[in-house]
Amino acid sequence: MPETHNDRRAFLLTVLAGGAGYLVWARSGPPPPYIPPRVRIAGFDTHGNPTGVTEVPTIQKSDAEWKRLLPLDSWWVTRRQDTELAFMGKYHNFEGDGLYRCICCGTALFDSRAKYASGTGWPAFTEPIARENIIEKPSATFGIAQTEVRCRVCDAHLGHVFDDGPPPAGLRYCINSVALSFAARI
């Protein structure tokens, strides 16, 4: 009988230590990705007209700097790859005419003309304003293979792209509202 008591105690201590270790690991966030010092992006004026492709410096800040600069919900989504709750974001039903820019750096990401009502609870776009301005990369959350969408200039997590969108391309860029700022077309 005493061995069973010690076995139980060892098991419980192992579970507690493992849980504590996991919490520390989860709170530390993902390792920082390699970000080149400069990238080429497409620029757009206040009417949404292209102004050409230019080379710009990437924006690299510490986690503490981003946390100071961003609203907490935007920080969790853009810097920690979180997701806002469906149907709660300010842009999921928004119908303004203009450009959606990165909340972190202001890079033009999507034009309202590519936005559509997907019924999913997040803003959905058929395409980015310019392929140069985003990065698409494979990701897996809970073992589900997805394609993550990030800002090319500051590496902010924006959302994901899925292949269940409308024709002709059949793509749905499912983007978190808190990762975006809206600039009305002038």
Domains of the chain: 31-184 (2.170.150.20)
User: What is the rounded end-to-end Cα distance, in angstroms, of the chain?
Assistant: 79
Active site residues: 174
Query: What are 127-157's pLDDT values in tens digits?
Result: 999 999 999 999 887 778 899 999 999 999 9
Query: What are 83-110's pLDDT values in tens digits?
Result: 999 999 999 999 999 999 999 999 999 9
Look at residue 116 in the predicted model and tell me its pLDDT. Answer: 97
Look at residue 155 in the predicted model and tell me its pLDDT. Answer: 97
Closest CA to 124 of 158, 157, 156, 82: 158
Residue pair 41/132 in contact by the 8 Å Cβ criterion: yes
